[in-house]
């Protein structure tokens, strides 16, 4: 199988360009180019204030979510295992909503990280049966889906107690939204993302051994429990970094890995993670482009679009797993 | 107790509350092929895992060169002793070459790049198992026998003095079982590797091993050379099996013929 490494960077560049061009007003690449260098005209405004920040926030959020999803999919050997399915993102979302509701003035990435990690610990603890922590991946995923519903319900409950305007904003954010993103958001998710991806790069070798199974990994000199916890930590933090700027956007984390693997034709964990990050960015950017241009004059939250794309994929995946006897 | 090689000293092992091995003291002969035999549930695999430190003893200890296994640094141990678990699951789409390269893990520094030595040892391992022509093939496309040889190449690439294998012949047809066991025999002959395998088939074990460890429901029944261990009395004791033991017409080793 020949890997096609260059496809994804090209797709990503294309998606970024498309996202900068398309919206209420369609701009030509030339208008963008003059806007970029002259600093005046519609191109400049669109680049600097309107579409630039949203595009780069989408790219950053999509990349961290894609990488996060793939970590769990490799660790649990199941395409359903992703932070959006398993409640880590809903947990992060709940923490942010709670922070707003109770006026806790912590930075959003910290709040969402705390929420995501709490959800992960909850899933782990609730999956424990007869002392064995690592149950079958299906158990963990099902418990995660339960935790996800619980966190979403708690978020909805908190929103009902907010003042109307705040409640509307929070509701929109909880779907996954890139509206009114600034360069600060873009810098935050890209900066945190780069840092966490660097940490992840150092963990890839452990992941390559871990995916051979715990016993073989231990035989090869790894401490499987410790390595796995480190990877779970990185995965949850990556997902939380995405949630902090874009809300719990559904399905990007779950779809990006398998999709990227097929587009780039790669199988090794490091390459899969790279492909997933780029695919996540492409999917999120494109979903946002569609979300803001499909209904004239209305900007839909990006999460509505990823939901529409992701739900059929999930159903297809479930039917495939049921056929294979995994469910 | 000697201070060389792999040995157990009053080793007790349990799964949860169930004790499977009690007070077992034995020595694995150096530079020999040893097979662990016994009925289902007697603790064969458990013993093998304890020898590789995959499970912690409830009593006694496993020693390697006189040192308690638990006191040896994880990576240092992985450079001396490799274990191939029973029916390992390959990651989707992984190629033979990629799988075997992962066997070099304990020898590579944290950020050390892939070295010429690593490449040479992997190539050697692939040649030993006869898969040098298939390096770029995904594991899932190989036959059962080839797949098992790829896994063996992975532990060979680990380049250790001790090689432990948990039922390496399960799911293989007779021809492939012979192929895998000959391969292990050859590793032992060419490199002096101490091989310990859990096996099901008494006749194959007797044919390919220098030393047998026979376990019964109540612990060790016998250990020693095949013709000392595979006797009618001991088979009855370990398996409750009524069998005739005759010399194998091909090798002269003991051959079990159930009555």
Q: Which residue has the higher pLDDT, A131 or B16?
A: B16
Q: What pLDDT shows up at residue A298?
A: 82
Residue B73's SS3 state is coil
Residues of B in contact with A215 (CB under 8 A): 49, 54, 83, 85, 88
Question: Over 80: is that where the pLDDT of B1 sits?
Answer: no
Please tell me the distance in Å from B54's CA to the nearest CA on chain A: 7
Please tell me the distance in Å from A211's CA to the nearest CA on chain B: 6
Candidates A79, A132, A212: best to mutate against B (most CBs of B within 10 A) is A212
Does the CB of B106 have a partner CB in chain A at under 8 Å? yes
Q: Mean pLDDT, 10 residues at a time, over chain A (327 residues)?
A: 80 94 83 80 79 94 97 92 93 92 87 92 83 68 93 93 88 88 93 97 95 94 93 95 93 94 91 96 95 85 92 86 70
Are A18 and A286 spatial neighbours (Cβ–Cβ below 8 Å)? yes
The mean pLDDT of B200-224, rounded to a whole number, is: 93
Please tell me the distance in Å from A225's CA to the nearest CA on chain B: 12
Q: Where are the domains of chain B?
A: 6-258
ipTM computed for the complex: 0.92
Structure tokens at A229: 């916890």
Candidates B49, B51, B69, B93: best to mutate against A (most CBs of A within 10 A) is B93
Are A44 and A38 spatial neighbours (Cβ–Cβ below 8 Å)? yes
Q: What pLDDT shows up at residue B109?
A: 81
> Would you call A1 and B93 a contact, using CB atoms and an 8 Å cutoff?
yes
Query: What element of type H or E holds A155?
Result: helix A137-160
The mean pLDDT of B4-30, rounded to a whole number, is: 90
Residues 6+ apart with CB under 8 A from A139: A127, A129
> Would you call A221 and B78 a contact, using CB atoms and an 8 Å cutoff?
yes
| CA–CA distance, A29 with B244 (Å, rounded to integer) | 87
The closest of B93, B237, B46, B127 to A211, measured between CA atoms, is B93
The closest of A267, A194, A280 to A11, measured between CA atoms, is A280
Are A43 and A32 spatial neighbours (Cβ–Cβ below 8 Å)? yes
Structure tokens at A78: 């199941």
Q: What pLDDT shows up at residue A2?
A: 60
Residue B11's SS3 state is strand
Alpha helix locations (H) across chain B? 44-51, 74-80, 96-101, 116-128, 144-157, 174-191, 202-208, 226-229, 232-239
User: Tell me: the pLDDT tens digits for A17-70?
Assistant: 999 888 877 888 888 888 888 777 777 877 887 889 999 999 999 999 999 999
Q: Name which of A212, A216, A223 is nearest B74 (Cβ-Cβ).
A: A223
Residues 6+ apart with CB under 8 A from A121: none
Backbone angles phi and psi of A242, in degrees to 5 = -70, -45
CA distances from A321 to A318, A325, A327, B62 (A): 5, 6, 6, 43
Q: Name which of B82, B91, B110 is nearest A219 (Cβ-Cβ).
A: B82
| CA–CA distance, A7 with B33 (Å, rounded to integer) | 51
Beta bridge partners of B27: B7
Chain B residue closest to A265 (CA)? B93
Chain A residue closest to B76 (CA)? A221
Q: What pLDDT shows up at residue A104?
A: 85
Q: Does domain A7-300 have CATH number 3.40.47.10?
A: no
Residues of A in contact with B102 (CB under 8 A): 208-209, 212, 220
> Would you call A209 and B88 a contact, using CB atoms and an 8 Å cutoff?
no
Window 186-245 of B: residues touching A by CB (8 A cutoff) are none
Chain B residue closest to A258 (CA)? B92
Helices A88-101, A164-175: axis angle to 10 degrees equals 170
> Would you call B75 and A221 a contact, using CB atoms and an 8 Å cutoff?
yes
Question: Over 90: is that where the pLDDT of B39 sits?
Answer: yes
* CATH for the stretch B6-258: 3.40.50.300
Tell me the three-class secondary structure of B128-146, residue by residue: HCCCHHHCCCEHHHCCHHH
Does the CB of B88 have a partner CB in chain A at under 8 Å? yes
Size of interface A-B (CB pairs under 8 A): 72
> Would you call A215 and B83 a contact, using CB atoms and an 8 Å cutoff?
yes
Instruction: Tally Cβ neighbours within 10 Å of residue A72.
Output: 32
How deeply is B87 buried, as exposed, middle or buried, from its count of CB atoms within 10 A (0-12, 13-18, 19+)? middle
Q: What DSSP letter does each residue of A307-325 carry, written as one string? A: HHHHHHHHHHHHHHHHHTT
Chain CA centroid to CA B157, Å = 15
CA distances from B34 to A226, B11, B27, B196, B256 (A): 33, 18, 10, 5, 18
Q: What pLDDT shows up at residue A325?
A: 66
Residues of B in contact with A211 (CB under 8 A): 91
Does the CB of B70 have a partner CB in chain A at under 8 Å? no
Does the CB of B100 have a partner CB in chain A at under 8 Å? no
The pLDDT > 70 percentage for chain B reads 99
Are A258 and A269 spatial neighbours (Cβ–Cβ below 8 Å)? no
User: Tell me: the pLDDT tens digits for A71-109?
Assistant: 999 999 889 999 999 999 999 999 999 998 898 888 888
The pTM (predicted TM-score) of the whole model is: 0.90
Residue A305's SS3 state is helix
Question: Over 80: is that where the pLDDT of B189 sits?
Answer: yes
Backbone angles phi and psi of B221, in degrees to 5 = -95, -45
Q: Where are the domains of chain A?
A: 7-300
């Amino acid at each position: 199988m020949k890997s096609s490494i260059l496809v994804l960077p090209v797709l990503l560049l294309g998606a970024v360009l498309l996202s900068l061009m398309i919206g209420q007003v369609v701009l030509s690449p030339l208008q963008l180019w003059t806007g970029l260098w002259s600093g005046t005209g519609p191109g400049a405004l669109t680049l600097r204030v309107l579409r630039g920040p949203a595009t780069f926030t989408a790219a950053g959020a999509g990349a961290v979510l894609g990488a996060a999803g793939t970590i769990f999919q490799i660790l649990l050997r199941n395409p359903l295992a992703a932070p959006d399915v398993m409640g880590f993102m809903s947990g992060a979302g709940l923490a942010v909503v709670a922070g707003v509701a109770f006026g806790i003035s912590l930075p959003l990435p910290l709040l969402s990280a705390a929420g995501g990690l709490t959800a992960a610990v909850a899933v782990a603890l609730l999956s424990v049966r007869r002392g064995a922590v690592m149950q079958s991946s299906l158990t963990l995923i099902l418990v995660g889906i339960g935790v996800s519903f619980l966190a979403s319900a708690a978020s909805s409950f908190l929103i009902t107690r907010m003042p109307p305007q705040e409640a509307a904003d929070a509701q929109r954010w909880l779907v996954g939204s890139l509206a009114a993103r600034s360069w600060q958001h873009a810098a935050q998710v890209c900066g945190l993302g780069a840092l966490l991806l660097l940490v992840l790069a150092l963990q890839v070798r452990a992941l390559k051994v871990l995916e051979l199974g715990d016993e073989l990994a231990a035989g090869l000199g790894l401490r499987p429990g410790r390595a796995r916890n480190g990877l779970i930590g990185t995965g949850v933090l990556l997902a939380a970094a995405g949630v902090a700027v874009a809300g719990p956007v559904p399905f990007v984390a779950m779809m990006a890995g398998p999709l990227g693997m097929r587009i780039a034709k790669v199988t090794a964990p490091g390459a899969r993670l790279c492909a997933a990050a780029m695919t996540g960015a492409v999917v999120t950017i494109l979903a946002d482009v569609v979300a803001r241009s499909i209904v004239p004059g209305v900007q839909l939250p990006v999460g509505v679009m990823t939901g529409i794309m992701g739900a059929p994929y999930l159903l297809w995946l479930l039917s495939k797993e049921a056929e294979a006897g995994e469910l | 107790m000697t201070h060389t090689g792999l040995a157990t000293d009053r080793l007790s092992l349990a799964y949860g509350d169930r004790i499977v091995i009690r007070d077992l003291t034995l020595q694995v002969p150096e530079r020999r092929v040893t097979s662990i035999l016994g009925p289902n549930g007697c603790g064969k695999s458990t013993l093998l895992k304890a020898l590789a430190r995959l499970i912690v003893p409830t009593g006694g200890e496993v020693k390697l060169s006189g040192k308690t296994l638990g006191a040896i640094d994880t990576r240092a141990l992985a450079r001396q002793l490799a274990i191939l678990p029973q029916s390992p699951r390959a990651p989707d789409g992984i190629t033979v070459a990629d799988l075997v390269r992962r066997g070099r893990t304990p020898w590579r520094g944290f950020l050390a790049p892939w070295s010429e030595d690593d490449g040479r040892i992997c190539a050697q391992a692939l040649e030993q198992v006869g898969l040098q022509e298939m390096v770029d093939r995904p594991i899932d496309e190989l036959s059962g026998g080839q797949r098992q040889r790829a896994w063996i190449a992975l532990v060979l690439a680990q380049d250790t003095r001790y090689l432990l294998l948990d039922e390496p012949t399960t799911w293989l047809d007779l021809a492939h079982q012979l192929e895998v066991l000959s391969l292990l025999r050859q590793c032992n002959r060419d490199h002096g590797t101490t091989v310990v395998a859990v096996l099901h088939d008494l006749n194959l074990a007797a044919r390919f091993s220098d030393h047998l460890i026979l376990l019964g429901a109540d612990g060790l029944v016998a250990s020693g050379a095949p013709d000392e261990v595979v006797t009618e009395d001991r088979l009855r004791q370990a398996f409750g099996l009524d069998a005739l033991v005759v010399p194998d017409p091909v090798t002269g080793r003991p051959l079990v013929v159930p009555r």
